[in-house]
Amino acid sequence: MVSYMKLGIIGLPNVGKSTLFNSITKANARVANYPFCTISPNTGTVLVPDKRLDFLEKLYKPKKKIQAVVEFVDIAGLVKGASHGEGLGNQFLEHIRKTSAIVHVIRCFEDKSIAHVTGSGVNPLRDMEIIETELILADLESMSKKLEKLEKSTKVNDKKTLVEKQRLAIRIKTHLNKGSPAINLELTTYEKTMLKDFFLITSKPILYVCNVSENDLPLMENKYTKIVREKLKKSHAQAITICAKIEAELCELSENNQKTFLKDLGLKEPALNRLIKSGYELLGLATFFTAGEDEVRAWTIKKGVLAPQAAGTIHSDFERGFIRAAVMNFDDLTRLGSEKAVKDAGLLKNEGKEYLVEDGDVIEFRFNV
């Protein structure tokens, strides 16, 4: 059960990370052509665009419309040695631990006016390796400390759960020492539950974002993006391409001018839309809706949750006193045009505690506390 998605944007300095953050949040994080211009994590909350919610607003004409939200955290550019305090060091690695997933921005554009932190040319694979290595090293340091504590605890208390956690910690440390992130380690469902207590950075899913030049529009592909995609085939990780520079220009325009600008560039939608969609897919999230005269609202949940847990997203009382859920399929609602028509067609269903909520469900919960 989640109420919103929190994405941490990371990458080497000068890859377009803060430019992307500014454009999608319309915030005022500093952008400069030198490392560490972001000296504290900049956080921005953005509304999730959803045409389904727009339809519900027109249909129900409520007093208010409440969109789902995504929180973005712009984390200062990491450098080689960050896990040992280089650059701004571990303080920024700690900010990553608090996010749901990582958005790793990779430089896939050439620009002689923008210096690369290594002092050499564009090389996305090298950049990816630097970041991954630093995250693994940070987790290794964290696991060493946790193992010390677990060893002390198991000496005075041989409780089964402590012993199991110690064994898992040893496995994880061995795995990390081989240069592989924790997310690649095969675990049982129970072990995955224990893993959460370790707060490992490399256990988080990663969405790779290739930042390209405006010269690569509208396809947004070049030799560097192809290299990244080829690399990710083996890990089944996901990558999207954006042009942060264009997005920065786009966010300064009105909605109508944005549409014209996108059309002229041959683009279908802003990068924010694709970034959010990819984030939802990466984390296995879904959206259900509540609708009425007072408000229409989008709620974010994990895919595959039962109706009572979905109700708990609204309020814990809804989950505790859950009776049933009146569920409409969004497609039925748009096809038939009204809640009454859906009901008359026998398509408004009363579901119980075992109902798995589906993306796009329009639900009214019945509960008693």
pLDDT single digits (tens) 253-293? 988 999 999 999 999 999 999 999 999 999 999 999 999 99
The predicted pLDDT at position 96 comes to: 86
pLDDT in tens, 167-202: 999 999 999 999 999 999 999 999 999 999 999 999
The predicted pLDDT at position 221 comes to: 95
User: Please, which pLDDT band fits residue 35 given cuts at 50, 70 and 90?
Assistant: low
Give the number of other CB atoms < 10 A from CB of residue 187: 16
Residue 217 contacts residue 186 (beta carbons within 8 Å): no
pLDDT in tens, 295-349: 999 999 999 999 999 999 999 999 999 999 999 999 999 999 999 999 999 999 9
pLDDT in tens, 143-174: 999 999 998 887 777 688 888 999 999 999 99
Whole-number average pLDDT of the chain: 90
- The arrangement of strands across the sheet holding 238-242 comes to 42-47, 69-74, 5-10, 101-107, 206-211, 238-242
Residue 139 contacts residue 201 (beta carbons within 8 Å): yes
Percent of the chain with pLDDT over 90: 75
pLDDT in tens, 225-245: 999 999 999 887 899 999 999
Residue 319 contacts residue 311 (beta carbons within 8 Å): yes
pLDDT in tens, 85-136: 554 445 667 788 889 999 999 999 999 888 877 778 899 999 999 999 989 9
210: its two tokens: 């290739």
Q: How far is CA 359 from CA 14, 98, 148, 288, 303, in A?
A: 38, 26, 44, 6, 8
